[in-house]
Structure 1
Amino acid sequence: MTDATAGRSAKPPKRPLKDILYSEGFRTVIYQIALAAAVALLGLYLYQNVVENLSRQNIATGFGFLKEVSQFEIGETLIGYSSRDTYGRALMVGLMNTLSVSAAGIVLATVIGFAVGIMRVSSNWLLQRIALTYVEIVRNIPVILQVIFWAAVIRNLPAPRQALDLWGLGFLSNRGLTFLMPVADPAHAWMLAALAIGIVAAVIAARLARRHREATGRYIDMLWPSVGLILGLPLLTWLGFGAPHELSFPERQGFNFAGGATISPEFVALMAGIALYSSGFIAEIVRAGIQATPRGQVEAARSIALRPRFILRYVVLPQALRVIVPPLTSQYVSLIKNSSIAVVIGYPDLVNIGNTVMNQTGQAVEAIAVMMVVYLIVSLVTSIAMNFYNRLVAIKER
């Protein structure tokens, strides 16, 4: 056997046990295990202490109360509910209300935030100052005061008989926002499904076009094909069902409205308050993302006569999104948690209904635990979705 062969076949020397025990990696693992065990023991002690104190006061424990009849009504629901339903069903109603106002707030905050953020970097001095003033106002007024302010404004609007007419499309009154709605038809569910399919197809087509461009250098404009997929599929579905076009217009009737759909004053006030507050922070995030793009790259793109939308799509946005998306995720999670302010103005969200359940059953620990777990899950799902999007838009280093 030659020396070279012997060198290749020789096994690396084993590390002495003493070196392993005193290594930094080993100590790090031991410290983490010890910390986890200490936290687990502390949690077990607190749990046993709570159970003993509750049993000493003859207070029932466990989550069996979720199957009991609630015996209270909820003024605003997205799913069927009555006082004969269970506490679990009532909490589900609160969760749906929380998700609906959070989703509406996220959309509104994103639209306003991106618009104001772009205005902040505009070359127009007046637009810059308007955007700066807006950001400074909404960011420095506590969100709870903004929610209370909008609730007071809406509740002091004219009654339905003197409601503000929104160009024949609806009314704004102290009863909330009333607007026209399409009459329910089976085609609407299929149109939503077609819209979802169109969005997925547009994303896949755009990625295929991008790979084709990277492989061959030939650009394929996917703007109009994407618009065709997203809008064309629902339109074809609508036509396939006979083009149902009946609309329900709201009309004044006595002390209220008939027809259309109405969003309660509490929903409008809560959505406006949390959305406007978050939009100020989102605007600054967008401004920072745009300004993080090197100016020289934008000027280089202009020098080769790229169209403005190409510069925005292929030069500015890919680099700006790396800065925008991570803090934007934090703002979305914060907005969802801020929706718990609904209890101040009487909107039946998860916290409001959870407090009612807690007062009726006396099982405060379990009711609060349910609310904590639900908010934790919703926040984690939001973070996971935004992290997935962040990976999609990330610039791949090669």
Structure 2
Amino acid sequence: MASSASSPVRLLYDVRVRAVLYQVVAVAFVVGVGLYLFGNVSRKLAEQNIATGFAYLSRPAGFVISQSFISYDSSDTYARALLVGIFNTIWVSIFAVTLSTLLGLLVGIARLSRNPLLAFLALIYVEALRNVPLLLYLFLWYALIVAVFPPVREAWQPLPEVFLSNGGLIVPSLRWSPAHTGVLVAVILGIVLGFFTASMLRRRRVASGQSETAWPLILVALLGPPLLAILLLQPDLVVNWPEKGRFRITGGVQVTPEFTALLVGLGLSASAGIAEVVRAGILSVGRGQWEAARAVGLRDRLTMRLVVLPQALRVIVPPLTSSYLSTFKNSSLAIAIGYPDLVMVSNTTMNQTGQAIEGIAIFMLVYLSMSITISLFMNWYNARVALVER
């Protein structure tokens, strides 16, 4: 009886049991505090006759959004408006991350150039962008776009049916339909299949010692889904041409000054930090790697691409994740120049409905979800490029 009574006590001395128990207690405590706060807030709001809950998302929004990557009208619901803000935030963040990565890679390599003028210019670029607040640069780029380009009635026309003014860049576009969406999804699927096919064939080639790459299989995986989608869906290629009026240009697709200023500001500001990360990663590779590559006849450009950068990635990728997260979260500054991102749409929604807690909770959840997604993807990529020590 004594041994059976002491068995629960003996379990408490097990490290794994205690670790699980501590986590259960911590989660229960957090959930309990959250439920208490939620109940307290709900009770106080009810006493002041303030509506709560998310039923307002199904009501018509009644406001216009200046730029949308999906179809939207003022008669659509608040949920649709918030979805527009989410897509606007995601798209500008993706473009900014791409721009900052390319510029950061080039500037980081230029910082180590043997040409003193090029290295000095890269240093000025990094220091100028790192030591000025991003918000000031957003104002600067937006003011330059509005001041340099002419008004809509005097819009430049660098190419036929292409107009450039302080209202933005307007170019012809396709009339989008569900068939085009299906083809776009098929293109993304083809890229993913092509990537995995190439990775699988590369592993087989390394295991068998072969030197040839099975390009036909990669091309089939890459082009097969889009071609199949085009044959099945048969999307119409109807072009929506811009038409210049006296006060505005209708038709086509417009790249607004707000989007451009935000993209340039986010991209350039983040590229300065990425440049320093790239420089640190390259310097972490031993000098002997350069000498060994030159000894076998590789030029500096090939040495950088084939020898140095693959080894530098294990130093570059972890801080690169922080840069990407900062770029995504800094997109919330778009409200300062009038770009309709998630924060701006949420603020408009909260002003009209008076339900601030729900609105803040929604865009906090969106930013948290996207940040976790970026972290998981970068951790996966970091595991793939990590070098296995011998």
Q: TM-score range by the shorter chain?
A: 0.7 to 0.9
Deviation at 1:218, TM superposition (A): 4.9
- Kept in 2, the 8 Å contact 1:170–1:249? The answer is no
- 1:332 — aligned with what? 324
Q: 1:300 aligns with which of 254, 277, 292?
A: 292
The letter of the residue matching 2:98 is V
* 3-state SS of paired residue (2:254): strand
Quick check: 1:286 aligned with 2:243? no
Alignment partners' CA distance in 2, 1:141 and 1:35? 41
Q: What is the letter of the counterpart of residue 323 of structure 1?
A: V
* Structure 1 CA distance for aligned equivalents of residues 215 and 77 of structure 2: 50
Question: Which moves more between the two structures, 215-224 or 375-384?
Answer: 215-224
Once structures 1 and 2 are overlaid, which stretch shifts more, 221-230 or 38-47?
221-230
Residue 254 of structure 1: aligned partner? 246
Q: In structure 1, how many angstroms separate the alpha carbons of the residues matched to 2:112 and 2:227?
A: 37
Unpaired segments ≥5 residues, structure 2: 1-5
Partner of residue 176, structure 1: 168
Question: Could you report, residue by residue, the CA deviation over 1:233-275 in whole angstroms, capped at 9, with x for unpaired residues?
Answer: 9899999x99x99987767553444665321111111111111
Q: Is the 8 A contact 1:177 1:268 kept in 2?
A: no
**Letter paired with 1:81:** Y
Amino acid at match of 1:121: L
Q: Out of 254-263 and 104-113, give the one that drifted further.
A: 254-263
Q: Is the contact between residue 258 and residue 339 of structure 2 (CA under 8 Å) also seen in structure 1?
A: yes
1:149 corresponds in structure 2 to: 140
- C-alpha distance in structure 2 between counterparts of 1:113 and 1:152, whole Å: 25
State whether structure 2 residue 62 is matched by structure 1 residue 40.
no
CA RMSD of the aligned region, Å? 3.7
Give the 5 Å matches for 1:208-223.
208=200, 210-212=202-204, 214-220=206-212
Partner Cα distance (2:305, 2:221) in 1 = 19
Does residue 101 of structure 2 align to residue 101 of structure 1? no
Higher mean Cα deviation, 55-64 or 384-393? 384-393
Aligned residues: 384
Larger mean Cα displacement after TM superposition, 330-339 or 22-31: 22-31
User: Which one of 120, 124, 129 corresponds to residue 138 of structure 1?
Assistant: 129
- The answer to whether the 8 A contact 1:209-1:220 is kept is no
Distance 1:299 1:235 in 2: 47
- CA, structure 1 residues 223+322, in 2 after alignment: closer, same or farther (shift >3 Å)? farther
Q: 1:371 aligns with which of 346, 353, 363?
A: 363
Distance 1:309 1:230, change over 3 A: farther
Query: In terms of Rg, which structure is larger?
Result: 1
**Is 2:76 the counterpart of 1:85?**
yes
My pick for the range that moved more, 387-396 or 56-65, is: 387-396
Q: 1:360 and 1:277 mapped to 2: Cα distance?
A: 34
Query: Mapping of 1:232-271 within 5 angstroms?
Result: 253-257=245-249, 260-271=252-263
Q: Distance in 1 between matches of 2:225 and 2:33?
A: 56
* Candidates 106, 109, 118, aligned match of 1:127: 118
Tell me which of 342, 346, 350 is aligned to 2:338: 346
Residue 380 of structure 2 is aligned to residue 388 of structure 1: yes
Identity %: 47
Judging changes above 3 Å, is the alpha-carbon distance between structure 1 residues 91 and 248 closer, same or farther for their aligned structure 2 residues?
closer
187 and 21 in structure 1: CA distance in 2 versus 1, 3 angstrom threshold: closer
Shift of 1:22: 5.2
Deviations 1:43-81 (A, max 9, x none): 222112111110110111111111112122222222222
Aligned with 2:65: secondary structure?
Answer: coil
Q: How far is the alpha carbon of 1:281 from its aligned partner?
A: 0.8
CA contact (8 A) 1:318 1:394 kept: no
**2:170, 2:255 within 8 Å by CA — same for their partners in 1?**
yes
SS at match of 1:75: coil
Distance 1:26 1:232, change over 3 A: closer
User: Residues 251 and 58 (structure 1 numbering): CA distance in 2 closer, same or farther, change over 3 Å?
Assistant: closer
Does the residue aligned with 1:83 lie in a helix, a strand or coil? Answer: coil
Q: 2:63 aligns with which of 66, 69, 72?
A: 72
Q: SS where residue 177 of structure 1 aligns? A: strand
Code of the residue aligned with 2:275 in structure 1: it is A
Match of 2:378, SS state, is helix
